[in-house]
A and B are shown apart, each in its own frame.
Chain A
Amino acid sequence: MSSQIPAFIIVVPLLAALVVNIAGWARRSLCFPTAVCALAAAWISTIIVMLRVSREGDIIYRMAGWDPPWGISWHIDHLNALILILIATVALINIVATRSTAAQEFPDRLGIFYCLYLLFVTGVMGIVITGDVFNLYVLLEIASLSGYALLGMGGSRASVSSLNYLFMGTIGASLYLFGTGYLYIATGSLNMVDIASILPTLENISLIKVSFVLCLVGLFMKMAFFPLHTWLPNAYSHAPGPSASLIAPLTTKVMLYVMIRVALTIYQPDFAFSQMALQDIVVWLAVIAIISGSILAWKQDRLKRMLAYIIVVEVGYMAGGFWLGNQTGVTGAVLHIVNDAMMTLCLFLTAGAIASRINADAFKHLQGLFRRMPFTMTAFMVAALSIIGVPPTCGFFSKWYLLSGGIEAGHYEFTAALIISSLINVLLFFRVVEISYYEPFDNHQENEQQGIQEASLDMLLPLLATAGLLIVLGFYAHSLVTWIIEPAVSSLFTGSL
């Protein structure tokens, strides 16, 4: 029985998605509890899987007992076990936190919403867990399609933005599919381990190179790597709150994971970093992404749009850190995937909490917010400090690895970009702080009488828990690195998979 635990991670949310959909017709009040139970079960499964991986080593799970390369196999090592926990945690916190807003926003479509929610989670979990490049594409489409639908549920503007995202996303996914097609032509296999063992024996390097570049560009598109980010700001800022705070933390991070997996597990570090000679280009692209993303974020006058551009900047951090090509940089990128997912969750939940009270997110409407929503703003501050990279919040620790990785690799421009972006982040967030702390001027007594109008408790508690987690993750960053990320990264570099 316990050997079947990995299957639960995918099967439970998938089946629950069907149940929830039916419940949406029969008894709407059952949707939320069912979804929460499914996600909690998935979460527990991911923890058990992690424990097993760290105790017994990698888990190879064969679906229905078929052997690869014909059957579908899952390969779980430290890296994807970690990302699985991350996905399950974000999905679980977010579903609890957005219960009331979801009920408010989609009163008659609750079944559909939670069904899509679970399908999306199934999709991204599947992307992470699978050991098969074509399966990955299928699951990518499941996640993306449910993602488009979730983002598009918020009225006409959201639908248009989501449609735009759909076009761009489909192009990205297709490029990835082309890449895997070439891989299949070259190797005759779709299993990652299988391909990895065949690739070094092949003569036709140019075919492999083409497949690599196609996969990479496709993934860049999906992860919103500048300048392929254009779909992201509209899609995330127009989306309904409960969808945005699920998808914004997860999509880009999962795509980064896929990039790491494809580059290091399938093509192997030597090919990806040395033979392709792409490192310098991608690191410079990351520098451009970081700087221009920061500038674009500065130009926004709405909270959610600013946050969306910050995601673009953070993608630059992670992509750049990975392409530094040394263990420190990759460690930083992986740690930042975890941290950034939690920070983004915290920020989007804050945006949701604010929206639940003042129903607007233009900066000028945020006046006096520190007094009206002190707890929400505390969580916001913690997340802001983490994005800036102030210790002891977690953002500092991944930034430290990225900075050292940059220096070790001799990519000083990347280190400089990180520092500059941190400073711009100070400006970005303290602009919001100033507006919500000072104005309106000169009538403190009157303001003090206004009293507190906090978000509802079921939103506030998960939000504060997420903020607390940002600090806990900071203090335990070293443990996380030594127990999980370092084994993961070193096995990626030695290619032991």
Chain B
Amino acid sequence: MIPIVSVKPLIAVLVSLAVIPVLISARKPNVREAWTFAAAFGKFAIVASMVPAVMAGRTLEFSITTLFAGIAFKLEVDAFGLLFALVSSFLWIVTSAYSIGYMRGLDEHSQTRYFCYFAAALSATIGVAFSANLLTMYIFYEILSLSTYPLVTHHQDREARSSGRRYLLYIMVGSIGLVLPAMVIVYLLAGTLDFAAGGLLAGSLSAVPALFLLLMFVFGFSKAAIMPVHAWLPAAMVAPTPVSALLHAVAVVKVGVFCVFRVITEIFGPGMLHDFGYGPLLCAIAAVTILVSSFIALSQDNLKRRLAFSTIGQLSYIVLGAALLTQSGMAGGMLHIAMHAFGKITLFFCAGAIVVATGVKNISEMTGIGKQMPATMGAFFIGSLSVIGLPPCGGFISKWHLAIGTIEADQLIMLAVLLLSSLLNAAYFLPVVYRAFFCTESESLFANQIKEAPGWCLAPPVLTAVASILLFFYPQPFLGLSRLAVTRILGG
């Protein structure tokens, strides 16, 4: 079908950038936050308004300028991009509310700067989701790296500086050292960088160069945190919790896997990877990351660090889904972007709420906290279930698809990996919940009276926890979008 030429994608990208001058000049925090909300709601509304057209099988596109011969700076909204944009823009609304509670609750400095860079990061995220070619995606990817740097290093202390160094080092070395040359090579081979359903490079590359290029991309997009380029993510946990929640569980890291996904499916193409037998290789890389990160997560006492290692593992689920190269596998990977986002953001919100209410960061100091913060820990429980992949939570749906995908691809080892990983997830999440609720009076470190975090901090995790459950019963439009996207990729 003919694409619709529409300026909507561009507005969706720019709307959060456009409010930055307003945010800077706003004199009162309330005015500033009101504008943040306006931008967040506006962004979500525009993204959501594109759902009907995309569900009907159309794409929307908008070309801005030509960057090189054969490469335009171009936005294109397809099902996969829209799925990711829906998740990110919706969760930005929730996170904005949470940010108010968290930043004011802890009386953080430089809040204006914080909200500005947050808005910029969201612009870049939507930009990645709506990119029509590799170079456009790369541009937004880099903007995202740079706009999150001041957020990661928000505290401006020694720890922030060293984490910032690590963050920048991993991400820039990956993007400049690996992705950039790989992109130039692809351009010299194909004469363009446009995403193509069957794979841009299909048929134009022999096995060994293809392997090198593939690995350059997979490890170059280090935001996907595939081991061994994962170490920046735990370090980035030094950021304020809303940043960890939205950026390091949803936007930034999923931009990484989104890019890897696009490269696997639309630059190389399932056909080529299947012929060369690189699907199982990628699966193996993902499987190692899934298992190793889960084992490391078991040993982390700092709650945010445990969540970070859990995220590393869950991101590789998505890479695994793409690497299975089958219908259900890819659909499962795409769905996991959405399902994991709702589950993991809930967990981070809870971790932040605990800090705001009690100042506690380590799991060993959380004995009995469920009595003081029952709603928070209840949300934490639901978030855990979703990430583990148990019904009645959204995480089950994506994991189910992934499991079916492994059978379709005839890779039963990967099925075993998924099951083992689920067990490990349960092993590192459920003790937190158990410890919080089930303990004797004498063991409990908290008073037996309810004292939750302020409303702005409490409502968001409860909301996302409820959403996680609802997604189990009503997985639309994510399910429909992922099926559409997979159909397009597999050319059926």
Which B127-156 residues sit within 8 Å CB-CB of chain A?
Answer: 135, 138-139, 142, 146, 150, 153, 156
Task: Contact check, B109 vs A445: say whether CB atoms are below 8 A apart.
Answer: yes
User: What 1/0 flags go to B209-238 for Cβ under 8 Å of A?
Assistant: 000000000000000000000000000000
Q: Which of A400, A426, A444, A478 contacts B156 (CB 8 A)?
A: A444
Contact residues in A for B177 (Cβ distance below 8 Å): 419, 423
Task: Contact check, A391 vs B161: say whether CB atoms are below 8 A apart.
Answer: no
Q: Complex: how many Å from CA A475 to CA B63?
A: 13
Task: Contact check, A415 vs B181: say whether CB atoms are below 8 A apart.
Answer: yes
Task: Contact check, B139 vs A404: say whether CB atoms are below 8 A apart.
Answer: no
Q: Which of A404, A415, A423, A445 contacts B176 (CB 8 A)?
A: A423
Smallest CB separation, B146 vs chain A (Å): 7
Query: B66 contacts the other chain (Cβ, under 8 Å)?
Result: yes
Selecting from A27-35, A435-443, A462-470, the interface stretch reads A435-443
Task: Contact check, A441 vs B180: say whether CB atoms are below 8 A apart.
Answer: no
Q: Which of B67, B142, B180 contacts A397 (CB 8 A)?
A: B67
Task: Contact check, A478 vs B181: say whether CB atoms are below 8 A apart.
Answer: no
Task: Contact check, B180 vs A403: say whether CB atoms are below 8 A apart.
Answer: yes
Query: B168 contacts the other chain (Cβ, under 8 Å)?
Result: yes
Q: Complex: how many Å from CA A407 to CA B109?
A: 48
Smallest CB separation, A173 vs chain B (Å): 38
Task: Contact check, B157 vs A448: say whether CB atoms are below 8 A apart.
Answer: no
Task: Contact check, B158 vs A477: say whether CB atoms are below 8 A apart.
Answer: no
Task: Contact check, B181 vs A477: say whether CB atoms are below 8 A apart.
Answer: no
Task: Contact check, A404 vs B110: say whether CB atoms are below 8 A apart.
Answer: no
Query: A487 contacts the other chain (Cβ, under 8 Å)?
Result: no
Contact residues in B for A458 (Cβ distance below 8 Å): none
Q: Complex: how many Å from CA A285 to CA B109?
A: 50
Contact residues in B for A407 (Cβ distance below 8 Å): 184-185, 188
Query: B187 contacts the other chain (Cβ, under 8 Å)?
Result: yes
Contact residues in A for B69 (Cβ distance below 8 Å): 478, 482
Q: Complex: how many Å from CA A438 to CA B153?
A: 9
Q: Complex: how many Å from CA A388 to CA B142?
A: 12
Task: Contact check, B146 vs A385: say whether CB atoms are below 8 A apart.
Answer: yes
Q: Complex: how many Å from CA A434 to CA B65?
A: 34
Which A397-453 residues sit within 8 Å CB-CB of chain B?
Answer: 397, 400, 403-404, 407-408, 415, 419, 422-423, 426, 430, 434, 437-438, 441-442, 444-445, 448
Task: Contact check, B187 vs A404: say whether CB atoms are below 8 A apart.
Answer: yes
Closest to B109 in A: A444
Smallest CB separation, A424 vs chain B (Å): 11
Closest to B65 in A: A475
Q: Complex: how many Å from CA A453 to CA B19?
A: 25
Task: Contact check, B109 vs A404: say whether CB atoms are below 8 A apart.
Answer: no
Contact residues in A for B142 (Cβ distance below 8 Å): 390-391
A419 and B65 contact, Cβ closer than 8 Å, known pairs A430-B168, A475-B73: no
Q: Complex: how many Å from CA A16 to CA B192?
A: 50
Contact residues in A for B65 (Cβ distance below 8 Å): 475-476, 478
Q: Complex: how many Å from CA A448 to CA B111?
A: 12
Smallest CB separation, B183 vs chain A (Å): 9
Contact residues in B for A430 (Cβ distance below 8 Å): 165, 168
Closest to B181 in A: A419
Smallest CB separation, A75 vs chain B (Å): 29
Task: Contact check, A438 vs B160: say whether CB atoms are below 8 A apart.
Answer: yes
Query: A392 contacts the other chain (Cβ, under 8 Å)?
Result: yes
Smallest CB separation, B62 vs chain A (Å): 15
Contact residues in A for B173 (Cβ distance below 8 Å): 423
Task: Contact check, B68 vs A426: say whether CB atoms are below 8 A apart.
Answer: no
| Residues of A contacting B: mostly | helix
Max chain A Cβ within 10 angstroms of own Cβ: one of B73, B157, B172: B172
Q: Complex: how many Å from CA A458 to CA B271?
A: 60
Q: Complex: how many Å from CA A430 to CA B168?
A: 9
Q: Complex: how many Å from CA A390 to CA B138?
A: 9
Closest to B168 in A: A430
Closest to B184 in A: A403
Q: Complex: how many Å from CA A58 to CA B2?
A: 44
Query: A111 contacts the other chain (Cβ, under 8 Å)?
Result: no
Contact residues in A for B181 (Cβ distance below 8 Å): 403, 415, 419
Task: Contact check, A391 vs B110: say whether CB atoms are below 8 A apart.
Answer: no
Q: Complex: how many Å from CA A478 to CA B176?
A: 21
Q: Complex: how many Å from CA A391 to CA B141?
A: 10
Q: Complex: how many Å from CA A339 to CA B184?
A: 20
Query: A389 contacts the other chain (Cβ, under 8 Å)?
Result: yes
Which B286-302 residues sit within 8 Å CB-CB of chain A?
Answer: none
A438 and B138 contact, Cβ closer than 8 Å, known pairs A423-B173, A478-B67: no
Contact residues in B for A388 (Cβ distance below 8 Å): 176
Q: Complex: how many Å from CA A426 to CA B168?
A: 9
Which B46-76 residues sit within 8 Å CB-CB of chain A?
Answer: 65-69, 73
Q: Complex: how many Å from CA A308 to CA B135?
A: 31
Smallest CB separation, B234 vs chain A (Å): 21
Q: Complex: how many Å from CA A263 to CA B96?
A: 60
Q: Complex: how many Å from CA A407 to CA B181?
A: 10
A448 and B139 contact, Cβ closer than 8 Å, known pairs A400-B184, A423-B177, A426-B168: no
Smallest CB separation, A416 vs chain B (Å): 8
A-B contact pairs, 30 of them (CB 8 A): A389-B176, A390-B146, A391-B142, A392-B73, A397-B67, A397-B68, A400-B184, A403-B180, A403-B184, A407-B188, A415-B181, A419-B176, A419-B180, A422-B176, A423-B177, A434-B164, A434-B165, A437-B150, A438-B156, A438-B157, A438-B160, A438-B161, A441-B156, A441-B157, A442-B157, A445-B109, A475-B65, A476-B65, A477-B67, A478-B65
Known: A385-B146, A397-B68. 14 other contacts (CB 8 A): A389-B180, A390-B146, A391-B142, A403-B181, A404-B188, A407-B185, A419-B181, A422-B180, A426-B176, A430-B168, A437-B153, A444-B110, A478-B69, A479-B66
